[in-house]
Amino acid sequence: MNLTAGHIANQINGTVVGDKDVKILNISKIEEGSKGSLTFLANPKYTEYIYSTNASAAIVSDDFEPTKKVTLTLIKVKDPYSSFTTILELFNNNHSDRKGISDLTVIDKSSKISDSAYIGSFSTIGKNSIIGSDCVIENQVFIGDNVKIGEGSMIYPGVKILNDTIIGKNCIIHSSCSIGSDGFGFAPNEDGTYKKIPQTGNVIIGDNVEIGSNSTIDRATLGSTIINNGVKLDNQIQIAHNVEIGENTAIAAQSGVAGSTKIGKNCMIGGQVGIIGHIKIGDNVKIQAQAGVTSNIESNSRITGTPAISYMNYNKSYVHFKNLPEIVKKIDKKD
The catalytic residues are 241
Comparing CA positions, the residue from 92, 96, 77, 85 lying closest to residue 26 is 92
CB-based contact 165:142 (threshold 8 Å)? no
| Residue 135: partners with Cβ closer than 8 Å, 6 or more residues away | 114, 117, 118, 149, 150, 151, 152, 153, 154, 155
Q: 307: cis peptide before it, omega within 30°? A: yes
Please state, in angstroms and rounded to a whole number, the distance separating the CA atoms of residues 41 and 84.
9
